[in-house]
Chain A
Amino acid sequence: MPLLDVQLLNKSFGGLQAVSEVSFDVKQGAIKALIGPNGAGKTTLFNLIAGNLPANSGTITFQGKSIQRRPPHKIASLGISRTFQNIKMFHGMTALENVMVGRHPKSHAGFMAAMLNLPWTWKEEKKIRDYSMELLELVEIADFAHIDGASLSFGQQRAVELARAMAADPTLLLLDEPAAGLNIYETAELAKLICKIRDMGITILLVEHDMSLVMDISDEIVVLSFGKKIAEDVPQAIQNNPEVIKVYLGDDDA
């Protein structure tokens, strides 16, 4: 059974068919990439999986359970974490606090326990803090833990977002263009990091424009164009796929 199974998914915005009859699956432990030109519908597909948008039709199954029509916070609690293409930091909070928010589904203190500052919440707070700090170390920005997240550099913010998504101990991690805005050295570091995360047992679905990164690390690639899936294969096969080449290099007839 695949970890994530998407079948015949459709999403339109008014007259625009942003995602059209898309089917694919993601196997446990894999790094799967989702590529395609600008506006192909990649982010929309992420939004459908994460519950931020309702699909018009089709099914999304995670660990054998349908996750359709569930609100984003439920889907997150089931083990799907994500990062955003246009970074969404919690401004006014430190890098560490940003990551600590990510630990939400794995902790419990509610309004009453928090207001009364019950002793058991102290232990939980410490655990959340320590775990978040470890994750900041993993993404190598622990030195900036106490700096306002929004004042960090672009690359550092992406790292915080990654750590934040990791904090919920997800089963599936959705990364939307994690290398955007990074230089080649940072991208190489990121590639290593993503593989490390995969080795920790977390399955990864990745949207990325950086072809060398995608070709290097992914086990399988899905190619979208104008909302339709035009190919799904291992990296070498995708590189030699005439239709993919046509979409990427442009078509003389178009």
Chain B
Amino acid sequence: MSAKKYLPVLWLLLIVVAVQLATSYSGKEFYLTQLTMTSYYCLLVIGLCMVMGYAGQISLGHAGFFAIGGYTSAALTTNNFASYSELTVMQLLNRYGCIITTEDMFGDTIINFHPWLAFAAAILLTTIIAFAIGIPVLKLKGHYLAMATLGFGVIIYRIVLASEALGEADGISEVPAFVLIKGLSVNGNMDDRVINYYIAWGILTIGALLLINLINSRTGRALRAIHASEEAASAMGINTARSKLYIFVISAVFAAVAGAMLTHYNGGIGPSEAGVMKSVRYVALVAIGGMANFWGALTMAATLNFLSLRGMFGSYDDAVFGAILILIMLFAPNGLFKLSPIKAIRQIINRDRR
């Protein structure tokens, strides 16, 4: 068990390398752009998979956390904070290299925060908001939890749309590159396409490793136990409220990392990323992957997000994911990989008898 659980990670890495080589040698490197974006969406989906599949909760607000991550990074790295330059905090941050000072074409000073600081702020803010939302909301169950998280998602969407600092309907553009370390930066330049593909899938692999470890641990067992029977789990000494909260916050942080990275990669973010249909899409991807099936969720998220980003679903894009969710719930509640047509038919026949 101990080493076997990492086998799929090895497969993932092999596929990632193989795809890069195949696209580069066949002159189709432009695919890497969508594949890079896909991997960031996958990062969100595997986090959500923990909440839904393993802890048995639902969140229709994860696009909200993605947006908090993306918009915080974007706002802090693009808005001009020159008018605050007198503040002691700013001077302190400047001394530690957290401030980037440039001049615009008229010679005025422009002060932005370093992407690392913006990133740290994005994660911190997400963590705080996830705790604040999670504590009251995770007391709810089933539809009520779905409604409450949906409400959260709608609020974030409206805030983003109404805030001048967040670019209102246009969103924020011209977000600078995120220099992770010298020579390694998240950006959308053609020349850096291959390296960015590897950065993105590398981050996803690290995320996957963390969650695979979690699933196979004492805490992971506790989460699965909560999913199966909350009453029995608490009788085993598991603090069910706290476990649910922590995994919710962890998944929110995954979403925020994805949002921040993709924003730097795309050079901007718009309100559609905070949209409710995005949250529905993520839920649909976890569902079609089989809920408590980590690799299933990842496979489906990678495939369908890529197809969606390639424009395969045309103007029906959102409708496709809505339809997937409905069909999965009706005919394959255990996901596409556990779909056995005979069993599904038998279930439908038996449904009336029960």
Contacts and interface: CB of A to CB of B under 8 A. Distances in A.
Contact of B222 (A81, A101, A115): A101
20 contacts: A71-B239, A76-B235, A82-B235, A88-B231, A90-B233, A91-B228, A92-B228, A93-B221, A97-B224, A101-B221, A101-B222, A102-B236, A108-B218, A111-B219, A111-B250, A114-B214, A114-B217, A115-B211, A128-B218, A168-B237
B210 A116 contact: yes
B41 to A, nearest CB: 21
Given A111-B250, A121-B217, A73 B229 contact: no
A101 B214 contact: no
A52 interface: yes
A103 B211 CA distance: 22
A93 B224 contact: yes
A105 interface: yes
Interface in B1-46: 2
Interface in B232-258: 232-240, 246-247, 250
Contact of B218 (A72, A81, A124): A124
Contact of B237 (A77, A97, A109, A125): A77
B214 A76 contact: no
A57 interface: no
A15 interface: no
Given A104-B222, A114-B220, A90 B234 contact: no
A164 interface: yes
Nearest to A72: B234
Interface string A126-169: 00100000000000000000000000000000000000100010
The 7 closest A-B pairs by CB, nearest first: A114-B217, A105-B237, A76-B237, A88-B232, A90-B228, A72-B234, A115-B210
A107 interface: yes
B238 A73 contact: yes
Contact of B229 (A82, A88, A102, A115): A88
Contact of A114 (B218, B231, B239): B218
Chain B interface mostly? helix
Contacts of B225: 90, 93, 101
A111 B237 contact: no
Contacts of A48: none
B292 interface: yes
B237 A73 contact: yes
Contacts, number: 105
B231 A101 contact: no
A104 B210 contact: no
Interface string B288-318: 0000100000000000000000000000000
Contacts of A12: none
B109 interface: no
A84 interface: yes
A121 B231 CA distance: 26
A4 to B, nearest CB: 16
Contact of B217 (A52, A73, A93, A109): A109
Contact of B240 (A73, A91, A124): A73
Contacts of A107: 218
A40 B20 CA distance: 69
B214 A111 contact: yes
B340 interface: no
Given A93-B224, A93-B228, A109 B219 contact: yes
A73 B239 contact: yes
